[in-house]
Chains A and B, each alone.
Chain A
């Protein structure tokens, strides 16, 4: 009997460190193939660099290391939901990271809220992702948010270009519509109205008639919302018209070969980003860039970290998630959710986060954290910075 008891104690003693070493799985559902594959890869790299750094320091919860489990959503909500379910129920991830497509994230949000597993958005900017009406809400984000971007666009147009009468040129889809609402709200808050609102189709060859109306209405600047192709059509049409108003844009142009598509005037478009690896970097920026260059042979300098927002948002999101898990003291979903609220301060890549999440605010990045950028040749540089 005594022998048995000794064996049991021995077995428990041996299994305790084994339990402590069990990795904490972090799920990632994003586009890993197709047009948005580069964006999915950027998110992966940001999370991976953060995980390497955390694991090198011994992980969290007294020695538990992190492990990343990825699934491809092919930029479609249905595939995203299947992948999310697999990661939640089969892989039993502690936190689920999302990708760049707002519709995919919106489809996953009800599931994570029901299952009480925290969801972290490192890219998709749709306002209702975090403001989803659920109570308790398990969705957090370290990225731009449409309605905040719209306020920042107005602020930038007024401050940089002294604009008084901006016109909107928006792609005719739900993204354009959500930005129309956001821009109207931002203008309304300052007692302003747009010079005009024009919507154009993704496949419009000539946007001159739309822009001519905005010009005739006295627009002294343009708010542009569109993916890379449609944004390029606006720039080419402006070139043909010989009209050069300041163009303040959402981050659509960042998603592809904008300079090739829009021509030399691509540089006239000022668009929003959350981070740039160009210019003088903070110690965190230097550390992350060094780690990226060491881990990925194709990264030889800041110009190769593309899209930079994916890497930067994902890196900070993972670091904040590690802090939340440490604060939680366990990997239970409700405890991690509370853990996010308990983060007091963290010196990150994008900024120094002070109380980044509260029950009323699940978005860690706001209008003061955005960087205004432009394409110089094929690289996204902060406005005014020469290569």
Chain B
């Protein structure tokens, strides 16, 4: 029962890490940059959805859709303000700029939304059913399904569609992509929008299990980056599977050894895994042709 419970708990949390890490994958694949403040994007998804659904009383689905649309807009803003100006000058300062923008977002929410954590109750997501002697809430079953579904969609879009091919072309050779008529800046903005939508979706999904507050995404963002690196940031399936693996190892460690060991074991395993496979478990080394 201890193991079953840990597996269910770990798969749920792991999909969240995976979804956030997919966001890192999308932007890295297209532009070799990432939004380091993915945790803030996640928080924004939850805060927007809470505001529309609870404060304004809208139906959940319309609240969630508008929240995701605003997250997409935020992604575009991140790219415009904190990434593009620095990349254009060949600087790596976007690393710090994305972190800084995330802190600004967190604090703006702190002022407007308040410091008190709020509870996001979804009637269909509460309650629990017994599965193999372990209580599972409907949301715990939905989260991994949505996470894996999005990873699959991402994989299909990038491999099977013209849009995906265009995005891959941008990362392989931006100049050549531009020559064949691909609008590179729009493609990169779109990648950031998709990235924050993934994070926002994670925020909305996790909110009923957690509570909504301005710094709810900080630790998630950190773990998700570890997951993205662990999975190999160049593989959509890789980061999703690494997310699930990280979540399950985390829950199993807590269940078998106790919570005092959780962070020590999980992050030590990340280091060991990267020492063995420097490009991540599912990643491939980038080949630079000169």
B-contacting residues of A (Cβ < 8 Å)? Answer: 34-35, 172, 198-201, 203, 205-206, 208-210, 212-213, 216, 228-229, 232-233, 236, 239-243, 256-257, 260-263
Q: Top 10 nearest A-B pairs by Cβ distance?
A: A35-B115, A209-B254, A261-B119, A242-B135, A260-B119, A229-B117, A209-B255, A205-B210, A203-B219, A241-B135
B218 / chain A contacts, CB cutoff of 8 Å: 203
Complex CA gap A35/B121 in Å reads 22
The reply to whether A257 and B259 contact each other, CB–CB distance below 8 Å, is: no
A256 and B5 in contact (CB under 8 A), knowing A203-B216, A242-B128?
A: no
B9 interfacial by beta-carbon distance below 8 Å: yes
The reply to whether B117 and A198 contact each other, CB–CB distance below 8 Å, is: no
The reply to whether A212 and B2 contact each other, CB–CB distance below 8 Å, is: yes
| A-B contact list, 11 entries, CB within 8 Å | A203-B218, A206-B12, A206-B251, A209-B254, A210-B254, A213-B2, A216-B1, A232-B211, A240-B135, A241-B128, A242-B135
A216 / chain B contacts, CB cutoff of 8 Å: 1-2
B211 / chain A contacts, CB cutoff of 8 Å: 229, 232-233, 261
A205 and B259 in contact (CB under 8 A), knowing A260-B118, A261-B117, A263-B121?
A: no
The reply to whether A206 and B9 contact each other, CB–CB distance below 8 Å, is: yes
The reply to whether B259 and A198 contact each other, CB–CB distance below 8 Å, is: yes
Q: A206-B9, A212-B1, A239-B128 are in contact. List 19 more A-B contacts (CB 8 A).
A: A203-B219, A205-B16, A205-B210, A208-B251, A209-B5, A209-B9, A212-B255, A229-B211, A232-B117, A232-B211, A239-B135, A240-B137, A241-B5, A257-B118, A257-B119, A261-B117, A261-B119, A261-B211, A263-B119
- With both chains docked as a complex, state the minimum distance between the C-beta of B14 and any C-beta of chain A, in angstroms: 11
Complex CA gap A208/B4 in Å reads 11
The reply to whether B130 and A212 contact each other, CB–CB distance below 8 Å, is: no
The reply to whether B134 and A241 contact each other, CB–CB distance below 8 Å, is: yes
**Nearest neighbor of A261 in chain B, beta-carbon distance:** B119
The answer, among B5, B135, B209, for a CB contact under 8 Å with A205, is B209
Interface of B is mostly: mixed
Complex CA gap A257/B16 in Å reads 26
The reply to whether B258 and A213 contact each other, CB–CB distance below 8 Å, is: yes
Complex CA gap A260/B54 in Å reads 11
The answer, among A199, A200, A256, for a CB contact under 8 Å with B117, is A256
- With both chains docked as a complex, state the minimum distance between the C-beta of A344 and any C-beta of chain B, in angstroms: 43
B21 interfacial by beta-carbon distance below 8 Å: no
The answer, among B6, B118, B140, for a CB contact under 8 Å with A240, is B140
B206 / chain A contacts, CB cutoff of 8 Å: 205
B91 / chain A contacts, CB cutoff of 8 Å: none
The reply to whether B119 and A34 contact each other, CB–CB distance below 8 Å, is: no
A229 and B213 in contact (CB under 8 A), knowing A34-B115, A209-B254, A260-B118?
A: yes
- With both chains docked as a complex, state the minimum distance between the C-beta of B109 and any C-beta of chain A, in angstroms: 14
B126 interfacial by beta-carbon distance below 8 Å: yes
The reply to whether B209 and A236 contact each other, CB–CB distance below 8 Å, is: yes
The answer, among B1, B9, B116, for a CB contact under 8 Å with A256, is B116
Complex CA gap A241/B131 in Å reads 10
A203 / chain B contacts, CB cutoff of 8 Å: 215-216, 218-220
Complex CA gap A14/B167 in Å reads 90
B179 interfacial by beta-carbon distance below 8 Å: no
The reply to whether A242 and B117 contact each other, CB–CB distance below 8 Å, is: no
Complex CA gap A155/B215 in Å reads 37
- With both chains docked as a complex, state the minimum distance between the C-beta of A200 and any C-beta of chain B, in angstroms: 6
The reply to whether A35 and B116 contact each other, CB–CB distance below 8 Å, is: yes
Interface flags for B255-277 (1: CB within 8 Å of A; 0: not) read 10011100000000000000000
B13 interfacial by beta-carbon distance below 8 Å: yes
The reply to whether B259 and A210 contact each other, CB–CB distance below 8 Å, is: yes
B97 interfacial by beta-carbon distance below 8 Å: no
- With both chains docked as a complex, state the minimum distance between the C-beta of A58 and any C-beta of chain B, in angstroms: 42
B136 interfacial by beta-carbon distance below 8 Å: yes
**Nearest neighbor of B139 in chain A, beta-carbon distance:** A240
Complex CA gap A240/B213 in Å reads 22
- With both chains docked as a complex, state the minimum distance between the C-beta of B265 and any C-beta of chain A, in angstroms: 13
The reply to whether A200 and B259 contact each other, CB–CB distance below 8 Å, is: yes
Most buried by B among A199, A208, A216, A228: A208
Complex CA gap A233/B13 in Å reads 14
- With both chains docked as a complex, state the minimum distance between the C-beta of A310 and any C-beta of chain B, in angstroms: 16
Interface flags for B53-95 (1: CB within 8 Å of A; 0: not) read 0000000000000000000000000000000000000000000
Most buried by B among A212, A228, A232, A239: A212
Interface flags for B162-195 (1: CB within 8 Å of A; 0: not) read 0000000000000000000000000000000000
Complex CA gap A172/B6 in Å reads 20
The reply to whether A205 and B2 contact each other, CB–CB distance below 8 Å, is: no
B130 / chain A contacts, CB cutoff of 8 Å: 242
A233 / chain B contacts, CB cutoff of 8 Å: 210-211
B5 / chain A contacts, CB cutoff of 8 Å: 208-209, 212, 241
- With both chains docked as a complex, state the minimum distance between the C-beta of B146 and any C-beta of chain A, in angstroms: 16
Complex CA gap A240/B140 in Å reads 10
The answer, among A201, A208, A229, A262, for a CB contact under 8 Å with B9, is A208
A198 / chain B contacts, CB cutoff of 8 Å: 258-259
**Nearest neighbor of B117 in chain A, beta-carbon distance:** A229
Complex CA gap A243/B260 in Å reads 23
B260 / chain A contacts, CB cutoff of 8 Å: 199
Complex CA gap A203/B260 in Å reads 15
A34 / chain B contacts, CB cutoff of 8 Å: 115
**Nearest neighbor of A35 in chain B, beta-carbon distance:** B115
A206 and B209 in contact (CB under 8 A), knowing A240-B128, A263-B126?
A: yes
**Nearest neighbor of B255 in chain A, beta-carbon distance:** A209
Complex CA gap A208/B140 in Å reads 12
**Nearest neighbor of A228 in chain B, beta-carbon distance:** B117
Complex CA gap A240/B134 in Å reads 8
The reply to whether A261 and B12 contact each other, CB–CB distance below 8 Å, is: no
Most buried by A among B13, B116, B128: B116
B121 / chain A contacts, CB cutoff of 8 Å: 260, 263
